[in-house]
Amino acid sequence: MDVVARHLAAIDRLRARDLPAGGAGHHTVELQTGLPGTASDDFHALREAVAQCLGARWGEAPPWGQLTLRLRLARGEHIPEPWASLCLRTDELDVWQAGGVWLAIGVADRDEADEIHLLATVTRTAPP
């Protein structure tokens, strides 16, 4: 199984997990992790490949930049989870609404001293 197919299968398993009833619950998983110093371009290319496959399922959607959410957080505005955490870890997300939940994928590479992560999140909470 190639790496994109493996990540798509992981996303399908993530979407099948139960979210807390009546709440805004969410689940985030690290699909892939790189060591500090790993080229983030490779992770962004992988995110784009996965996003292309997901776009074929649920429709194309442009990436969502996270700068506005970071600015809103800095001003003290409440940003619900998981979006507050994701905006601090990623510069952009690919986001879809499918089957009653929101799915977001992104590359967490904002901290140069930390590992790079390809993340996937499911939630009932709409992006702000």
Tokens at residue 108, please?
């967490």
* Side chain identity at residue 94, one-letter code: D
In this prediction, residue 38 carries a pLDDT of 75
Tokens at residue 14, please?
């993530």
The 10s digit of each residue's pLDDT in 32-89 is: 998 767 788 999 999 999 999 999 999 998 899 999 999 999 999 999 999 999 999 9
Q: Contact 70/88 with Cβ under 8 angstroms?
A: yes
Check whether 21 has a pLDDT greater than 80: no
Return d(Cα 89, Cα 114) in angstroms, integer. 11
Residue 31 has a CB neighbour count (10 Å cut-off) of 20
Rg (CA), the chain: 14
Q: Which residue, among 9, 51, 120, has the nearest Cα to 1 in the 3D structure?
A: 9
Return d(Cα 92, Cα 60) in angstroms, integer. 15
Check whether 16 has a pLDDT greater than 90: no
pLDDT band with cut points at 50, 70 and 90 for residue 114: confident
Q: Is the peptide bond before 82 cis (omega within 30 degrees of 0)?
A: yes
Q: What residues contact residue 54 under an 8 Å CB cut-off, 6+ apart?
A: 8, 11, 94, 96, 103, 105
